[in-house]
Structure 1
Amino acid sequence: MSEASKIFAGYRALGFVSSGVPLAVRYHQKHKENYVVTACSKLGIVSVSDSHPEEISVLGVDRALTFTACRNVVRAFTRGKQVKYTYEGHKHDVHLLLPFGQHLISVDRESTVIIWDIQSQDQYLELQFNNGSFEVTSLLHPSTYMNKVVLGSRQGELQLWNVKANKLVYTFQGWGQPVTVLTQAPALDVVAVGLENGQIILHNLKVDETITKFLQDWGPVTSISFRTDGHPIMATGSASGHIALWDLEERKLRSQMREAHAGAVTGMQCLPSEPLMVTSAADNTLKVWIFDMPDGGGRLLRERSGHSAPVNKLRHYGNDGRNILSAASYHKSQTKKKTLKYDQHRMPYIVNFVAEPSRQSDWDNILAYHRGLNLVTTWNYQRSTMGEHKFLHQRFTEDAANHRNTVAQCVEITSCGNFGLIGYSSGHVDVYNLQSGLQRGSYGEDRAHSSSVQGVVVDGLNQVTLTSGRDGDLKFWSFKQKKLLETVKLESPVSSILLHRESAMLAVARDDFHVNIVDVDGQKVAFSSDARWLVTAAMDCSLRVWDLPTGRLIDCFLVDSAVTSLTLSPTSDFLVTSHLDDCGVYLWSNKTLFSHVALKALPENYEPQLVDLPSTGRQTPGESDQDADGAEEEFVRSEFKSPEQISSELVTLSLLPNSRWQNLLHLDIVKQRNRPKQPPKAPKAAPFFLPTVAGLEPKFALPENQTSGKTSKVAAGSLMPLCTLDTPVLDYIKSLSPSAVDVEIRSLDPDMGGSLDVLRAFIQFAKATLETNRNFEIIQAYLGLFLKVHGDELSSQKDLVPDLEALAGIQATSWSSVQDSLNQTLCLVNYLRTAVL
């Protein structure tokens, strides 16, 4: 079966940290560290499990395995990655898990309790409760209570069961409120019971007596944990995101941690024997708190977070493609509820933004507009804060009655980073200086468009400004003079525009589901081969890739939910998407950078296929999701191959130092540079005592002969016969210094003692060496020097033309092979460099 997408493959998902599922903490005996398990730690991702078919509803851990529940199926993961056991038997969704020695207890929404044998995956026991009389809402194994568990109910009762004997041991009458959480206290026989009305009960199970009660005013108790580092403190979480710290000795409230999370604190765990606490919530955050405040409260130590609401805008930042900026919304009606954090000064969510890194060190370099506001804000990338300036034209304050419903619709920053442009629903387009915050003019005598401005862009040289409106007009303006240059009338209103500054090509999306490509320089609708692809997404959950030179569709696939924003990295190695009602940011790798892909136009009747969104774990480029879920990869040990065996597949080098061959073409320049500045001095006088040779008879030591007596194998014509002497000749030349190599090659000239046959022999020698694919760089250097020295002589000899043509052919073939290998290696290195996120 063909792949759903020819170009893009899912790589990984970013921004998922924690969901509403309570976290779990496991202590690793060997590493002496605590590991936090969340449904989606310093806080770093250690491992990512295989993906589930649907969302995880509950987590549980023991010393070796991690247990998850997805709908009515329970899975056990080994090393936190691979599924080792699967437990199927529930008819409804599982919402409680409790590892219990060699067994696992699971509870579904209809209060069916099943006890599993972990290794055999068989059911050991099944208990059935009636939700009308006893709906199980919490589960706990009290310390030192052999084979016993405590079940909490929505009716408020507690039941102690012996799971080995399948017997109800005792029933606790409760406190008339639904039980939300059960936690073991450090003291034996004592458990903490959290109720829906905010009460926390410390109850002794052995004598069925309440020790003390606490009451938090923030609604239901969602989590409870105890410090075990010598301080008698109990921490409780609430549905409003606040955390209360209770002093168990004085039985009073010790401290509060308000707005610890933006949602209900679903997971809370104090680390054993450490003043640290880990919390998680449905706001997609995971936080570590340290208890070092004067009042005994906790201070945020580390945090890992993602968007708590769906992402609505993405943009790559910088030219290396390694940084992504994202903006998300929030649910206004939900934030107004008293049970959630609400700030009356919070601005509406960002609809769109633009960033320019060229002046990021000098002033604010991000411009954003918000939902329902005509005020535009600036942001600073390096400080990660809101900027100094907020742009609001005086017309909106002086004539507030007529501009009551005017809002900002689009923003742009010039490539130099000095100016910001804002388009409004009233048709105005204003220019501001980002450094001073002063207005630098407006387009049009009264306004730029008679309708809402849907897009504004500036070319790379700050020469032309383009604006589009709901009236279907695409206008070209002089950036400096603010004068209208040209107007192009489109067939339907414009929804958005996007400019590719390097190629001056503008993509115009219209309301009639058409996309036009506009040549900014020619001021007309056209296609250009300067830009390569255009990637579009639609609300039908499709994503399409268009080839601009031909205007044909070359790739199309479907995703589960509609794409709300997408951006292609400047290096074209990753496509990044955000989706409707999704907090994640998804990365798709470009397969054309790692393998050959035939980018043929798709037929008109092509039916796009559904592609799963990338998972949190990284995926090999080009590997499909189906491959990632398959069996473990098999590694095959390859046999050793010598350079001679791989010469037909690869190109090898001579391994000589660069100084022996790199400067052969510039040897005359090197000699000129190294010429002594002063004339040579006269030699010193001979020594009084002449050196002698040891022996019975005294003899004077004669000076050694400076010449080796070897004659040039090249000049003497010993290159022939070539079939037997090509390798010895190469070994001989490799042993020479650069100056000696220069002398040998120059001596091939007929005027220097050589001949035409010797020149032909060197050409055949170079051709034979290139055919072996060995000593590639050294023969290239020798051949370059040979052509430089004897180029005039070779061009005048017709008898050498066939040999030179044969040499040119093998040279082109060998270089093509090397170039392909270099391009593939550079692509892989660039991908690995940008993939470290």
Structure 2
Amino acid sequence: MISSWLASCVMGSKLELLSVSDTHPEDITCLATDAGQAYTAYGNIIKAYARGQQAVHIYKGHEKNIHLLLSFGEHLISVDEASNLKIWDKETEETYLDVEFDNSAFQISCVLHPTTYLNKILLGSRQGSLQLWNIKRNALIHTFEGWGSPIRVLEQAPAVDVIAVGLENGKIFVHNIKYDETLVSFQLDWGPVTSIAFRTDGEPMMATGSTVGHIAIWNLEERKLQAQMRDAHAGSVTGMAFFRGEPILITNSPDNQLKVWVFDQSDGSGRLLRRRCGHSAPPSRILFYGNDGRNIISAGQDSSLKSFSTFHESLNRDFGQAYANKKSGKRLKNKLERHKLGTITALACESSKKSDWDSIVACHQGSSLVTTWDYTRCTMGKYKICPPELEDDLAAQATAVDVTSCGNFVVIGWNTGHVKLYNIQSGIYRGNYGKDKGTAHSGPVRGVAVDGLNQVAMTTSSDQKVKFWHFREKKLLQEVDVQCPVSQMKLHRESSMVALAMDNFSIYIIDIELRRIVRKYQGHQNVVSDMAFSSDARWLVSASMDCSVRTWDLPTSKMVDCFLVDAAVTSLCISPTNAYLATTHVDDLGIYLWSNRTLYSHVSLRPLPSDYEPTVILMPGACLDTKDEGPSPNLENDLATLEFQSPEQISAELITLSLLPNSRWQSLTNLDLIKTRNKPKEPLKVPKSAPFFLPVVSGLEPSLDVQKETKSSKVRKVAVAGSLNLASELCQLLLESAQKEDRTYEAVLEYMTKLNPSATDTEIRSLDPIGGGSHIAMAIFMKALIDWLQSNQSFEIVQAYISLFLKIHGDEISRTSELVELLESLLGEQEKSWQRLQGQFNQTMCLINYMKSAVLS
């Protein structure tokens, strides 16, 4: 429903969902909005939501359930069932004013802030009177005597000082509160007035809603009823509002529909522009349609059929309601209920021929008719199938149906024991299962199914028999006595497995090829409401009226999962991709999707003991509240700047790479070879450079002395004495890290990852005593390597450092006993790290090989 479990924000132009709030622990009783926030009340608690998603304020203080909310400037007004009126400061969450009323004298039923009335609110009561209050002075300004009937609705008119008052006896008064006089009154003949709205586009029209779902349009200038919009909703019109300056009305109702009407008709009535709807009664049966797992066919107790998309809500479709005589139903709108069929009790579909003819077939409660539905056009199909001998039998009822895998035939079973075959394309009768065109069973048929090759048809009944028939010849092949009445049957065509739900709450699995019972499951404590196979037929998920959902592993014949829900599951189905489990529940209008965790995480599916006690889990929703605590005052600013930061280490058992380029660590152990390979074959010769001023030979005719070489000062490479004995920067960092109390070597690793391969080679060589280092520096470096291995960080570059260090200083380490002991510790840590990593590799490879073999087989 629109005002139930979740508070949602919908865009009016296209009725697209914009945002969904956090889950409320109870049903939402009332809503209020302002320019920045939305306010919801459940029980005696009020929550304020920023951008319709996160709760930024929580207001607590009422002792009774809240049923009225009004946003009033910087304050929020709330009224509970005991008529205790509280005014809250929106930012501080403190109570600004608290006024208590006596329900016997003045029980508050509605609240309104009249336009231009500063600091004043108008209260309506169940006693029929009105009171005008100044909330700043906490003073009663005026009391209106009323009209002798409980006030249901107060609505501000476009004119100042004028309000509309809707009463429980159906009367509407347009009243001037400044002079306390009634301007015009109307009488609604459909019961109490539930909502009022005024047009603001220049037309003097007022719309009122009723409890029966009708909408009346009143002309305020001519003071008459302008038009009627009957059956606008299937339930009470609880809310309506005109868009400012536009002839567009939006309405909602407990029938789970949000409708937009445009007033462009000549008689002044509105026509339906767009709507967003769900089932007005809880769904009875659901099925995944097609092989992509994106669409769910849902049949509701309101006799309607709908398609819900798991990909995007804009792809939802409405097939309408099922009528026995649709054409006459259109002509006689006031007699639609006479032609409407009952709740859909059985449903079957096949998408292979959906573009050619009807692909969905449904059975209805209390009717022998079987209806067909066109998925492509989203309407009822051409045919309503019913055998001639059952048309006049009022007790006959279609109870089971199945569509063949080719999409051409439908097998139907009735409670009279008849099982018949029809062609979907033409609706022509194709045969009867039973001797001499009689009944196939002696009791009501509970299930029918056809294998994937259209070779064998299976039927079951309350007569404790499961019969196998030749599909085309209609002759009985074999029957199996299951020693208990069967309540329903589910077939998995690819594996030729049939699941039977028994009246003794147990489940049997029958192999079609062997035609015998191969599995028996017991554990449910009440009637099994529905069952579903996984796409690979490894699991069978069953639900019962004991509020439990159990998963059975067919190969091992064990129960691997079980949990409880608050409301019993009435129907369930598994997507063809095994990604989702869809469920419907008792007295719930929604369809819940459960995600298969085994597709993206490791789940240990161990057999559960027979005395396993399942726990109640929360129903799926947009998000789950783990704590009912108020958020921080700066939550709105925090949300705007919140960014996800990946942790440095996800798990201590996993390794983390350094994310450095491969060239930074792959060539460390081969630097000598790379330098030798890149060394030029001949030494570079310095070219002779002519001086800018060439020397001149003295003589009668001056000439240039080209043979004389210029004298240039030769640069001598002089090594500074004492510089070889200075410790390198790596040695200094190692010594500083060893002197710290925590003895962490993060600074050393951070410094080394910034060096290029040549600089890294130079720094590691400088650890040798000959290169300016010491045995102490080498020992500290080995301890640093052990510490890095234990942390599992920068795994690949640490391995490169170990390889280079041992290659350069292997001889020196072997001559020092202290370094040999550290080397043994390093070797042990290295083997431990690699064994853990290799075990994870082996486990992953085994899983991949298993999945490949399952796909190929």
Is TM-score (shorter-chain normalized) higher than 0.5? yes
* 1:709 matched residue in structure 2: none
How many pairs align? Answer: 621
SS in 1 for 2:390: helix
Counterpart residue identity of residue 191, structure 2: G
| Aligned-residue offset at 1:35 | 4.8
- Cα deviation per residue 1:668-688 (whole Å; 9 max; x = unaligned)? xxxxxxxxxxxxxxxxxxxxx
CA contact (8 A) 2:165 2:174 kept: yes
Per-residue deviation at 1:122? 1.0
Match of 2:250 in 1: 278
The Cα shift of 1:437 comes to 1.0
Aligned residue in 2 for 1:751: none
The CA deviation string for residues 465-508 of structure 1, in whole angstroms up to 9 with x for no partner, is 01111111111110011111111111211111100001111111
1:269 to 2:241 alignment = yes
Answer whether contact 1:24 1:60 (CA < 8 A) is retained.
Answer: no
Farther-moved stretch of structure 1 (47-56 vs 637-646)? 637-646
Cα displacement (A) at 1:250: 2.0
Which residue, 175, 186, 193 being the options, matches 1:221? 193
Superposed, 1:729-768 pairs within 5 Å as none
Give the corresponding residue for 1:391: 385
Counterpart residue identity of residue 435, structure 1:
Q
**Of 407, 410, 429, which aligns to 2:419?**
429
Report what 2:267 is aligned to.
295
User: CA distance change for structure 1 residues 200 and 123 in 2, over 3 Å: closer, same or farther?
Assistant: same
Query: Does the Cα contact within 8 Å between 1:235 and 1:245 map onto a contact in 2?
Result: yes
Paired with 1:575 and 1:463, the residues of 2 have a C-alpha distance of 30
Quick check: 1:444 aligned with 2:434? yes
| Letter in structure 2 aligned against 1:425 | N
Which residue matches 1:467? 459
CA separation in 2, counterparts of 1:84 and 1:601?
Answer: 44
Q: Any conservation in 2 of the 1:263–1:281 contact (CA below 8 Å)?
A: yes
1:440, 1:535 → 2: CA distance?
Answer: 34
Counterparts of 2:197 and 2:214, CA distance in 1: 14
Establish whether residue 641 from structure 1 lines up as the match of residue 663 from structure 2.
no
- Structure 2 residue 575 is the aligned partner of structure 1 residue 603: no
**Contact 1:18 / 1:285 at 8 angstroms: preserved in 2?**
no
Deviations, residues 768-824 of structure 1 (Å, cap 9, x unaligned): xxx99xxxxxxxxxxxxxxxxxxxxxxxxxxxxxxxxxxxxx999999979989999
Q: After superposition, what is the alpha-carbon deviation per residue over 1:331-383, rounded to whole angstroms, capped at 9, x for unaligned?
A: 99xxxxxxx99622211121111111111111111111111111111111111
Match of 1:74 in 2: 46
- SS in structure 2 of the partner of residue 598 of structure 1: coil
1:428–1:449 CA contact under 8 A, matched in 2: yes
> Does the aligned pair in 1 maintain the 2:58–2:630 contact within 8 Å?
no
Change over 3 Å in CA distance of 1:811–1:175 after alignment to 2: closer
- The letter of the residue matching 2:382 is E
Distance 1:628 1:437, change over 3 A: farther
Query: TM-score by structure 1 length?
Result: 0.70
The answer to whether the 8 A contact 1:535-1:544 is kept is yes
The Cα of 1:240 is off from its aligned counterpart by 1.2
Q: Which whole-Å CA distance do the structure 2 matches of 1:247 and 1:207 have between them? A: 23
Tell me how far 1:646 sits from its aligned partner: 11
- Report the counterpart of residue 140 of structure 1 in structure 2: 112
Using the TM superposition, give the Cα deviation of residue 637 of structure 1 relative to its aligned residue in structure 2, in angstroms: 5.2
Q: Distance in 2 between matches of 1:157 and 1:625?
A: 41
- Give me the whole-angstrom Cα distance separating, in 1, the residues matched to 2:176 and 2:117: 13
Distance in structure 1 (CA, Å) of the matches to 2:604 and 2:423: 47
Closer, same or farther in 2 for the Cα pair 1:147/1:611, shift >3 Å?
same
For the pair 1:552 / 2:558, whether they are aligned, the reply is yes
The aligned counterpart of 1:513 is 505
SS in 2 for 1:85: strand
- Quote the residue 1:362 is aligned against: 356
TM superposition shift of 1:404:
4.0
- Report how far residue 108 of structure 1 moved: 0.8
1:704-759 deviations in Å (ceiling 9; x for gaps): xxxxxxxxxxxxxxxxxxxxxxxxxxxxxxxxxxxxxxxxxxxxxxxxxxxxxxxx
Report the 3-state secondary structure (helix = DSSP H, G, I; strand = E; otherwise coil) of the residue aligned with 2:15: coil
1:207 aligns with 179
Equivalent positions of 1:787-802 (< 5 A) are none
Q: Structure 2 CA distance, aligned partners of 1:811 and 1:630?
A: 47
- Superimposed CA distance per residue, residues 172-202 of structure 1 (whole angstroms, 9 cap, x where no aligned partner): 1111111110011111111111111111111
* 2:478 equivalent in structure 1: 486
Range 384-393 or range 248-257, more displaced: 248-257
Distance in structure 1 (CA, Å) of the matches to 2:22 and 2:478: 56
| Conserved 8 A contact 2:8-2:20 | no
Counterpart amino acid of residue 358 in structure 1: S
Q: Cα distance, 1:642 vs. partner?
A: 3.0
**Distance of aligned partners of 1:199 and 1:24 in 2 relative to their CA distance in 1, 3 Å threshold:** farther
Quick one: which of 388, 410, 417 aligns to 2:407?
A: 417
> Aligned to 2:88, what secondary structure does the other structure show?
strand
1:674-823 to structure 2, matched below 5 A, reads none
The separation in 1 between residues aligned to 2:612 and 2:665, in whole angstroms, is 45
C-alpha spacing 1:515/1:24, structure 2 compared with 1 (3 Å): closer
Q: Partner of 1:353 in structure 2?
A: 347
Q: CA deviation at 1:643?
A: 4.0
Tell me the alpha carbon deviations over residues 640-660 of structure 1, each in whole angstroms, 9 at most, x when there is no partner: 823429999xxxxxxxxxxxx
Partner of 2:398: 408
CA contact (8 A) 2:350 2:407 kept: yes
Deviation by residue 1:63-94 (Cα, 9 ceiling, x = unmatched): 11111110111111111111111111111111
1:250-275 CA-to-partner distances (Å, cap 9, x unmatched) read 22222222111111111101111122
Work out the CA distance in 1 between the residues paired with 2:664 and 2:169.
76
Q: In the alignment, residue 420 of structure 2 is paired with which amino acid?
A: D
Report the Cα distance in structure 1 between the residues aligned to 2:558 and 2:508, rounded to whole angstroms.
13
2:469 corresponds to which letter in structure 1? W
Query: TM-score w.r.t. structure 2 length?
Result: 0.69
Counterpart Cα distance in 2 of 1:589 and 1:601? 21
The structure-2 alpha-carbon separation of the partners of 1:347 and 1:331, relative to structure 1 and needing over 3 Å to count, comes to closer
Equivalent residue for 1:239?
211
Name the SS for the 2:352 alignment partner: helix
Distance in 2 of aligned mates of 1:275 and 1:647? 71
CA RMSD across the alignment: 3.2
Q: Please give the alpha-carbon distance, in whole angstroms, between the structure 1 residues aligned to 2:379 and 2:257.
A: 20
Matching of residue 106 in structure 1 with residue 78 in structure 2: yes
Who is 2:469 aligned against? 477
Superposition deviation, residue 296 in structure 1:
2.2
Say whether the 8 Å CA contact 1:612–1:625 is kept in structure 2.
no
Contact 1:309 1:329 in 2 (8 A): yes
Superposed CA deviations along residues 582-609 of structure 1, whole A, max 9, x for unmatched, are 1110000000001111111112221101
Aligned-residue identity in percent: 51
* Structure 2 unmatched runs, 5+: 305-333, 521-533, 632-638, 649-657, 667-795, 798-836, 852-857
Contact 2:282 2:589 in 1 (8 A): yes
The 5 A counterparts of 1:40-189 are: 42-189=14-161
- The 5 Å alignment of 1:575-586 reads 575-586=581-592
Residue 531 of structure 1, CA deviation: 2.0
SS for the counterpart of 1:265 is: coil
- 8 Å CA contact 1:20, 1:266 repeated in 2: no
Partners of 1:444 and 1:342 in 2: how far apart? 38
1:168 deviates by 0.5
Show the counterpart of 1:543: 549
Deviation, 1:17, is 3.8
Point out where structure 1 has 5 or more consecutive residues left out of the alignment.
Answer: 1-15, 26-33, 333-339, 649-770, 773-809, 825-837
User: Which structure carries more relative contact order (alpha carbon 8 Å, separation 6+)?
Assistant: 1
Q: Within 2, Cα distance between the matches of 1:325 and 1:143?
A: 48
Partner of 1:677: none
User: What is residue 572 of structure 1 aligned with on the other side?
Assistant: 578
Q: 1:575 & 1:284 partners in 2: Cα distance?
A: 23
Distance 1:90 1:315 in 2: 44
- Report the 3-state secondary structure (helix = DSSP H, G, I; strand = E; otherwise coil) of the residue aligned with 1:344: helix
* CA distance in 1 between partners of 2:665 and 2:15 (Å): 49
**Distance change in 2, residues 1:19/1:317 (3 Å):** same
The corresponding residue for 1:380 is 374
Q: How does 1:186-197 map to 2 (within 5 A)?
A: 186-197=158-169
